Amino acid sequence: MLAYTGKRLVSLVPILIVVAVVVFFVMHLTPGDPAAVMLGTEASQADIAQLRHQLGLDEPVLAQFVDWLGGVARGDLGTSIFMKMPVSQAIAEHVGPTLSLSILAQLVAAVLALPLGILAAKKRGTATDQMVMGVSLLGISLPSFLLGLFLMLVFAVELRWFPVSGYKPLADGFLEHLRYLVLPALALGSMQAALIARMTRASMLEVLNQGYIEIARAKGLREISVVFKHALRNAFIPIVTVVGQSFALLIGGATVTETVFNIPGLGQLIVNAVERRDYEVIQGVVLVIAALYVVLNLIVDLLYGLIDPRIRHKR
Amino acid sequence: MSVVMHNHTASDRAAALNEARLQYRREQRRIAWRSFVRHRLAFAGSIIVFAVLLLAVFAPVIARFDPLAVDVANRLKGPDAMHWFGTDNFGRDTFSRVAYGARISMFVGISVALITGVLGLLIGLLASYFRRLDYALMRICDGLMAFPAILLAIAIVAAMGPKVGNVILALSVVYTPNVARAVRSVGLVVKEQTYVEALGSLGAGHARILFRHIAPNCLTPVIVQGTFIFADAIISEAALSFLGAGIPAPAASWGNILYDGKMYIFNAWWMVVFPGALLMLTVFGLNMAGDGMRDLLDPHTKDK
């Protein structure tokens, strides 16, 4: 397991390098002078020159990159001149709601999707199967921000069951916290639910056709035990992949969903930064989320090794 | 006696053969039924997409109002015979705006699908054929795929400025790795086929083998992925415009209309429901078409 972990860690290095290069150079795509763009049309030449210096834009690009990378390695993501605080602090202040929302959405997705996927596989080809697949296709077609608006219209504006928007931290009580997050989590979780249900069905179908399932049945095991103990366990690898990858996707989708419901998370941070052209913040948030994705993928890879010894002993 | 025995086994065999044939036919019928259902979906999906395409192309003819024409006296009016989808906070006709929004969505979707198709095919082919390029190209793809699509697109558009062209460029960067990876995995299989080896022995050059003989066999993933990317690009453009990092106001795009709609969600449900429903329908149609296309072109993934 240790060698496997080491190999996985080494394979991250080139990906992280690409991530860093992309994030750094995106800011340099700006046509003209980023400092002038950030300060707007009414800034004086002296102000622009000072900001250029502060951002390090008066140095050669390669030196800037090395400086920036060095800072990132020490956890210094730069300073937001608009928010007057280090970018890392801004991120820390906004990460809570995003995580809360993402975890709840993932929970919603898993609870909805796993039983439906297993059911569809068991009843393959029947009306139940067709319906689950049809609904999941609809789920994939409904972007979270749009579903969010629809849910808001029905359950908050018309029925008034939930608040229209806003956020209450966990400190205000769990139920209150939950009340504000139910609609956003449903909106965000539905697409994941659709993806997970489809993958669960496909991977269960594959496993249910294997010989050892026949043997388990021939031994006279109850169907419930065949499905859950023998089939599900072996169908789990692709399911874990989708759950892992979709969790990262979820954090991306969370940014848009947060804007719909005015939740003060990373999404709101980056959207406000786009409005103000606060490049340092945009860079920082994008970098942190991409790094998070890479780490999550690593965890998923390591989980494979735990679930299926064949993978960690390969080669 | 032996003749009778022989006849007996022969009729047995005939019966078994007949039974097998029947079973085969039942199986065939089942498969045909399944693909019929599937392709009926694909067909329905294509019709939806085609209808939206027509709406987009003929928007200037179909829409009775200028999508930008302000009419303060008639602001936030519900749907009626005059304004089918109601009016927005400036009194602009929502139906006209949705129709013109379809133009932007379709234009962005088709452009991104085409650009990612060409680039992805090229990168995937090169990676599958030249081992030395493979590692570098795939690590770049991995790196790009580490970003949630929408976030990378936000960053690129924020840097380059909100314009239709920049939105298309950003989304192309975001989705090309998907196509490249799919093409590469097919290309790796095709490259090992005997006919490629034969071409090599006959003295065909790399470029000829790669583009004349391998490329046509790698088109399936480009077409299937292209349909899904078309759908994803439409969603992403709407999301970007909704966030204020896409098509700049006052131009009509579904994302912009939804953004305005959210502001007036208490008084004007029609500003959310109509563009939202059309966006959902379009993406649903594309996903159905993509699913069907995958079944048709790639029988191995029938149940996935």
Using alpha carbons, list the distances in angstroms from residue B152 to A283, B105, B116, B143: 10, 19, 16, 11
Query: What is residue B8's predicted lDDT score, i.e. its pLDDT?
Result: 61
Q: What is the pLDDT of residues A40-62, one digit of tens each?
A: 777 778 888 887 777 777 778 88
Q: Which chain A residues are Cβ-neighbours of B160 within 8 angstroms?
A: 29-31
With residue A85 as reference, give the H or E element that holds it: strand A85-86
- Asked if the C-beta of A30 comes within 8 angstroms of chain B's C-beta atoms, the answer is yes
Higher pLDDT, B161 or A244: B161
What is the domain partition of chain A in residue ranges?
2-73, 87-314
Q: Which stretches does DSSP call E strand in chain A? A: 79-80, 85-86
Q: How far is B53 from chain A (nearest CA, A)?
A: 18
Question: Averaged over B253-272, what is the pLDDT?
Answer: 88
Higher pLDDT, A184 or B75: A184
Question: Averaged over B68-73, what is the pLDDT?
Answer: 78
CATH 1.10.3720.10 holds for A87-314: yes
Q: Which chain A residues are Cβ-neighbours of B156 within 8 angstroms?
A: 26, 29
What three-state secondary structure class fits A86? strand
Cross-strand partners of A79: A86
Query: What is residue B32's predicted lDDT score, i.e. its pLDDT?
Result: 66
Cross-strand partners of A80: A85
Q: Which stretches does DSSP call E strand in chain B? A: none
Residue A140: pLDDT band (50, 70, 90) is: confident
Question: b vs e for A57-87, b when ≥16 Cβ sit within 10 Å of the residue's Cβ?
Answer: beeeeeebbeebeeebeeeebbbbbbbeebb
Q: Which chain B residues are Cβ-neighbours of A143 within 8 angstroms?
A: 235, 238-239, 279, 283
Q: What is the pLDDT of residues B197-250, one digit of tens each?
A: 888 888 888 888 888 888 888 888 898 899 999 999 999 999 999 988 888 878
Per DSSP, B216 falls in state G
Question: Averaged over B98-119, what is the pLDDT?
Answer: 94
Q: How far is A136 from chain B (nearest CA, A)?
A: 11
- Residue A67 · residue A59 · CB < 8 Å: yes
| Cα B111 to Cα B172: distance, rounded to the nearest angstrom | 9
From its phi and psi, is residue A192 left (phi > 0), alpha (psi between -120 and 50) or beta?
alpha
Q: Which chain A residues are Cβ-neighbours of B159 within 8 angstroms?
A: 26-30, 279, 282
Question: Averaged over A142-171, what is the pLDDT?
Answer: 86
| H-helix segments, A86-160 | 87-122, 127-141, 144-151
Tell me phi and psi for residue A297, to 5 degrees.
Answer: -60, -40
Residue B6: pLDDT band (50, 70, 90) is: low
What three-state secondary structure class fits A83? coil
Question: Averaged over A134-143, what is the pLDDT?
Answer: 86
When mean pLDDT is compared across B138-147, B209-218, B287-296, the lowest value belongs to: B287-296
- Asked if the C-beta of A125 comes within 8 angstroms of chain B's C-beta atoms, the answer is yes
Q: Token pair for residue B59?
A: 């928007």
Query: What is residue A159's predicted lDDT score, i.e. its pLDDT?
Result: 86
| Cα B127 to Cα B187: distance, rounded to the nearest angstrom | 9
Nearest alpha carbon to residue A213 among A285, A121, A281: A121
Query: What is residue A227's predicted lDDT score, i.e. its pLDDT?
Result: 81
Query: What is residue B15's predicted lDDT score, i.e. its pLDDT?
Result: 82
Specify the CATH number of the domain B47-301.
Answer: 1.10.3720.10
Q: Provide the terminal-to-terminal Cα distance of chain B, rounded to the nearest Å.
A: 55
- State which residue of chain B sits closest to A262, comparing Cα positions: B262
Question: Averaged over B5-18, what is the pLDDT?
Answer: 73
Share of chain B above pLDDT 70, in %: 93
**Statement: residue B302 has pLDDT above 50:** no
Q: Token pair for residue A155?
A: 């359950």
- Asked if the C-beta of A157 comes within 8 angstroms of chain B's C-beta atoms, the answer is yes
| Cα B299 to Cα A183: distance, rounded to the nearest angstrom | 39
Amino acid sitting at position A11 = S
Question: Averaged over A281-288, what is the pLDDT?
Answer: 89
- State which residue of chain A sits closest to B259, comparing Cα positions: A260
Could you tell me how many CB contacts below 8 A there are between chain A and chain B? Answer: 153
Q: Which chain B residues are Cβ-neighbours of A19 within 8 angstroms?
A: 143, 146-147
Top residue of A17, A144, A274, A300 to mutate, by most chain B CBs within 10 Å, is A274
- State which residue of chain A sits closest to B289, comparing Cα positions: A137
Residue A71: pLDDT band (50, 70, 90) is: confident
Top residue of A146, A152, A250 to mutate, by most chain B CBs within 10 Å, is A146
| Cα B176 to Cα B174: distance, rounded to the nearest angstrom | 6
B231/A152 CB distance under 8 A: no
Residue B304: pLDDT band (50, 70, 90) is: very low
A22/B144 CB distance under 8 A: yes
Question: Averaged over B180-201, what is the pLDDT?
Answer: 87
Q: Please list, in sequence order, all residues whose beta carbon lies within 8 angstroms of the beta carbon of residue B275, skipping any fewer than 6 positions away.
A: B94, B97, B98, B101, B254, B257, B258, B261
When mean pLDDT is compared across A141-155, A286-300, B109-123, the lowest value belongs to: A286-300
Is cis: bond before B67, omega within 30 of 0? no
- Asked if the C-beta of A164 comes within 8 angstroms of chain B's C-beta atoms, the answer is yes
Query: What is residue A80's predicted lDDT score, i.e. its pLDDT?
Result: 82
When mean pLDDT is compared across A28-32, A96-100, B168-172, B242-246, the lowest value belongs to: A28-32
- Residue B69 · residue B77 · CB < 8 Å: no
What three-state secondary structure class fits A147? helix
Question: Averaged over A202-215, what is the pLDDT?
Answer: 82
Query: What is residue B92's predicted lDDT score, i.e. its pLDDT?
Result: 87
Question: Averaged over B140-158, what is the pLDDT?
Answer: 87
Question: Residue B5, Cβ neighbours under 10 Å: how many?
Answer: 9
Query: What is residue B1's predicted lDDT score, i.e. its pLDDT?
Result: 43
- Asked if the C-beta of B70 comes within 8 angstroms of chain A's C-beta atoms, the answer is no
Residue B299: pLDDT band (50, 70, 90) is: low
- Asked if the C-beta of A9 comes within 8 angstroms of chain B's C-beta atoms, the answer is no
Nearest alpha carbon to residue A244 among A293, A209, A305, A287: A293
Residue A314: pLDDT band (50, 70, 90) is: low
A157/B269 CB distance under 8 A: yes
Cross-strand partners of A86: A79
Amino acid sitting at position A31 = P
Query: What is residue A293's predicted lDDT score, i.e. its pLDDT?
Result: 83
Question: Averaged over B165-181, what is the pLDDT?
Answer: 93
**Statement: residue B303 has pLDDT above 50:** no
Question: Averaged over B153-158, what is the pLDDT?
Answer: 88
| Cα B77 to Cα B67: distance, rounded to the nearest angstrom | 15
Residue B131: pLDDT band (50, 70, 90) is: confident
Nearest alpha carbon to residue A27 among A248, A285, A237: A285
What three-state secondary structure class fits A79? strand
Question: Averaged over B106-125, what is the pLDDT?
Answer: 95
**Statement: residue B35 has pLDDT above 80:** no
Taking all residues of chain A, what is their mean pLDDT, rounded to a whole number? 83
Query: What is residue B301's predicted lDDT score, i.e. its pLDDT?
Result: 52
pTM of the model: 0.83
Using alpha carbons, list the distances in angstroms from residue A312 to A3, A124, A207: 9, 33, 21
Nearest alpha carbon to residue B260 among B52, B87, B63, B105: B87
Question: b vs e for B127-144, b when ≥16 Cβ sit within 10 Å of the residue's Cβ?
Answer: bbbeeeebeebbbbbbbb
What three-state secondary structure class fits B87? strand
- State which residue of chain B sits closest to A22, comparing Cα positions: B144
B150/A286 CB distance under 8 A: no
Residue A274: pLDDT band (50, 70, 90) is: confident
- Asked if the C-beta of B211 comes within 8 angstroms of chain A's C-beta atoms, the answer is no
What is the domain partition of chain B in residue ranges?
1-38, 47-301
A157/B272 CB distance under 8 A: no
**Statement: residue A184 has pLDDT above 90:** yes
Question: Averaged over A63-87, what is the pLDDT?
Answer: 84
Q: Residues 239..258 of B with a Cβ closer than 8 Å to A: which?
A: 239, 242-245, 258
| Cα B251 to Cα B154: distance, rounded to the nearest angstrom | 19
Q: What ipTM describes this predicted complex?
A: 0.83
Question: Averaged over B132-159, what is the pLDDT?
Answer: 88
- State which residue of chain A sits closest to B33, comparing Cα positions: A125
Q: Token pair for residue B48?
A: 């939806």
Instruction: Give me the count of residues in chain B.
Output: 304
B155/A140 CB distance under 8 A: no
| Cα A23 to Cα B145: distance, rounded to the nearest angstrom | 13
- Asked if the C-beta of A123 comes within 8 angstroms of chain B's C-beta atoms, the answer is no
Query: What is residue B2's predicted lDDT score, i.e. its pLDDT?
Result: 47
**Statement: residue B114 has pLDDT above 90:** yes
